[in-house]
Amino acid sequence: MEDELEDLVPPEEYVVRWSFTGRCSDELSINKGDQLMVHAKITPEWWWAELRGVFGYVPASYLHHGVIEEEDEEDEEEDAWQDEEYYLTYGTLNLHLEMLSDKSRTEAYRRVIVNNSASLHRKVVMDLGCGTGIMSLFCAQLAQPAAVYAVEASSMVQHTRELVKQNACEEVVTVLQGRAEDIQLPEQVDVLVSEWMGNCLLFEFMVESVLLARDRWLREGGMMWPSSAALTLVPCQARRYYAEKMAFWENPYGLDFTPLQPLALEEFFAKPKFSHLMEPGDRLAPPADVICLDMHTLQVADLEEMQGEFQFHLEKSGVFHGFTAWFSVYFKSLEEGGAPVELNTGPDSEPTHWKQTLFMLDEPVSVNAADRIGGSIILRRNPTWRRHLTVTLHWDINGRTQEVGTKSFPMWR
Ligand code: J7C
């Protein structure tokens, strides 16, 4: 009886921060500002709630405790997205130079436009997060679209306008200043092109803006570029990085500095290493795609938590230091049967500015050829800092319960 009473916690009132569309009959559809009652916090991600007499699951991160003032609400959202800071970083040339000088990236997008130039004739295109406008200019110069809407939220947009004029594309390209979420287009578009990918594919979560724009502005049957994306993982060695950051403390200048190793673990291995270039000999098994996104069907709510499984069959013995991750994106052809274009950021392709992401284990493990490393990866979007995520890896060796590990890596919060 006492146990039952403990289960009967009183319902709590929450306010909806972001609208969410339920995807099946036991998920509630909720609108920003709705007040609902949470009856049970079933998991940290999904709560059982009631809105106007209807019960269903809602994503917990979409809710805010208690009633909030309109102004506070806006401040808090801005803060959580760090939009101001985010768009400021794209207001100067530094990142645009990095993206434009990345030939694999920029030329992959150009190839998509060249390969599809005939089909783009008289089509309406949206270039979301156009930056300096390169894709819009490629479109206008290499194909004959009816219109290209180039949308950019950072202050770079003033220069984009000038570049469009300078390259005599102003008849076709209309530059729109603002967030894709807020701008109005005069018409729906046939093609939505965007370069939204961040480290480990999802970091920055610009993909959310792309999905919201798709649902609002892409006509029925329109094309998303990229059309799909995959996150790839491989167990690897990272001898050099391990030596530099961890083994270093064993005997510097003939002294024992190992008491600093716990600090080193926290400082260098708790978060992933961005900008890692995996050496060809470092992989312990053939890489595998662990998460695949279809850009035509993916929903914003799916981004809260993505999970993938893996089973790697090692091809050599060595030291298992961690996992390396990278992504690929694919651009379907507008023509029936046309070849897709791939942009692959992995170690077997031309290096890109994303490079790869390395997740170091706390301790290296010796492994043998023919061992199996199985497990799962979970990408959890931060409920507060919406551009950040935590990557959790679970693994076991040969399915043995005594050789298992789990580690969560915040990126960055
Ligand atoms: N609306 C308009 N521009 C955006 C948005 C948005 N919601 N999100 C990102 N951008 C712009 C940003 O200012 C920058 O120029 C580019 O898109 C980011 C590209 N980042 C990436 N990781 N590919």
Tokens of 12: 């709590």
Confirm if 164 and 196 have CB atoms less than 8 A apart.
no
The reply to whether ligand 1 has any atom less than 6 angstroms from the CB of 180 is yes
Residue that terminates a domain, selected from 80, 97, 124: 80
Three-state SS at 192: strand
> What does the pLDDT look like over 144-187, one tens digit per residue?
999 999 999 999 999 999 999 999 999 999 999 999 999 999 99
The per-residue pLDDT for 65 is 79
Residue tagged 């990095």 (tokens):
98
Distance 184 CA to ligand 1 centre (A): 17
> What DSSP string describes 87-101?
HHHTSSHHHHHHHHH
Pick the last residue of a domain from 177, 195, 213: 195
CA of 243 to the centre of ligand 1 (A): 37
Please report the pLDDT score of residue 1 as a whole number.
39
Domains held by the chain: number: 3
Q: Which of 85, 104, 152 to mutate to test the pocket of ligand 1 (most atoms within 8 A of CB)?
A: 152
Q: Does residue 83's CB lie within 6 angstroms of at least one atom of ligand 1?
A: no
Q: Is 200 within a domain?
A: no
Domain with 248, as residue range(s), is: 229-411
Residue 195 known to be catalytic: yes
Looking at 144, 172, 195, the residue that finishes a domain is 195
Judge whether 406 lies within some domain.
yes
Per-residue pLDDT tens over the stretch 14-54: 998 876 767 677 888 888 788 999 999 888 778 999 998 88
pTM recorded for the entire structure: 0.83
Q: Are 235 and 160 in contact (CB under 8 A)?
A: no
pLDDT in tens, 98-156: 999 999 999 999 999 999 999 999 999 999 999 999 999 999 999 999 999 999 999 99
Longest Cα separation, the chain? 78
Give me ligand 1 centre to Cα 59, in Å: 25
pLDDT of residue 7: 47
The CB of 163 under 6 Å from ligand 1? The reply is: no
Residue 288, Cβ density class (10 Å: 0-12 exposed, 13-18 middle, ≥19 buried): middle
pLDDT of residue 42: 87
133, part of any domain: yes
Q: Distance between CA atoms of 373 and 395, rounded to whole angstroms?
A: 7
Of 50, 204, 342, 403, which one is the catalytic site residue?
204
Residues 51 and 26 grouped into a single domain: yes
pLDDT greater than 70 at residue 282: yes
Give the DSSP letter string of 142-179: HS--SEEEEEE-STTHHHHHHHHHHTT-TTTEEEEES-
pLDDT > 70 in the chain, percent: 93
158 and 52 within one domain? no
Spatial separation of the C-alpha atoms in residues 303 and 61, rounded to whole Å = 12
Instruction: Look at residue 62 and give its three-state secondary structure.
Output: helix
Instruction: Please report which confidence band the pLDDT of residue 72 belongs to, taking 50, 70 and 90 as the band edges.
Output: low
Q: Identify the CATH number of the domain in which residue 169 sits.
A: 3.40.50.150
d(CA 276, CA 287): 16
Residue 329 sits in the same domain as residue 406: yes
Q: Which of 82, 93, 128, 192 to mutate to test the pocket of ligand 1 (most atoms within 8 A of CB)?
A: 128
Report the C-alpha gap between 78 and 182 in whole angstroms: 14
Tell whether 202 is covered by a domain. no
